[in-house]
Amino acid sequence: MKEHIDKIKSMNIGKVQEHILLKNHTTYKVGGEASCFVTPKDTKSLIKLLKYLKTNKIKYKVLGNGSNVLFSDKKYEGVIIKLDKFDNLVIHNNLIKVGAGYQLMKLCCQAAKRGLAGLEFASGIPGTVGGAIYMNAGAYKSDMGYVVKRVKVLTPDFRVITMTNRELNFHYRSSFFQTHPSYICLEATIGLTYGNKDEINKVNVERRKRRLETQPLEYPSAGSVFRNPDNLFAGKLIEDIGLKGLIKGGAQISVKHANFIINKGNATAQDIKDLIEFTKEAVKDKYNIDLKVEQEFVNWE
């Protein structure tokens, strides 16, 4: 791997780092070391990198804020790609063109400043635009699928195309990108509506306050662990079978919200995965409901 990293460093494609701890780049604050960590400076550089990785059969993972992934504790023998430099922002009337690496909460603030409504649901979601689109992140009965008009995408054969909302197949916590992981979101066009600036800010403040009151934001976590089944709440199912507060190693089912698993300070990735799997099995045994995990498991094979 060392010779490949040296070659990548010589390509002049952006920042290249070695031996990076993934726990410093995920909201669970767990995960092993990554052999190589690359922040491409532009689309041309990203394509150059991907061509090299694919030609040499080197595994890679595009990572946003790490807010919905669970890396294993073992070494990631490959390349982690961060799109932090894809952070352009252009607002024209009620349309926003924004890079995949732009922070979602920051985007919510920019929209609110201009009296643009429709992103209030995302005011407390700690992800990037690209990550939010990949997961179709949402809250308060809305999600990215309601506001994304089109997305500029890099295809597996290195073409840059534009996909429309309909083509992106948005559904509850899912999108085209989850079933086609070799496609990479580069930039999104988001359509909002004009609203009252004070009212938008009021909603944002109230929702952030509600999150603080109802979610264990003082601990590392990755948000909701399970998707809500139809007409039910995963957190209530977990609480009703007495699992709230359950501890495995350094991981715990939050006493504040049972659909959150928190890192109490010394959790391993294995602790968290064990707790997720135990909870999923317990709910299945009790209710015959197969909860779907929202988080993506990476490097467990």
Catalytic residue, candidates 173, 174, 175, 187: 173
pLDDT tens string 249-274: 999 999 999 999 999 989 999 999 99
Alpha-carbon span 192 to 95, nearest angstrom: 6
pLDDT of residue 208: 87
The full set of domain ranges for the chain reads 2-82, 89-213, 217-298
pLDDT, one tens digit per residue, over 174-191 is 999 999 999 999 999 999
What CATH number should be reported for the domain whose range is 217-298? 3.90.78.10
Name the average pLDDT for the chain. Answer: 96
- Show the tokens assigned to 193: 């509506």
Catalytic residue of the set 67, 221, 224, 254: 224
pLDDT band (50, 70, 90) for residue 123: confident
224 among known catalytic residues: yes
Class for the domain spanning 2-82: alpha beta
Active-site residue flag, 174: no
Tens digit of pLDDT for each residue in 133-168?
999 999 888 999 999 999 999 999 999 999 999 999
Is the CATH number 3.20.170.30 carried by domain 89-213?
A: no
Cα–Cα distance, 254 to 33 (Å, whole number): 27
Say what the alpha-carbon torsion angle 71, 171, 83, 216 is, to the nearest 10 degrees: -50
Active site residue 182: no
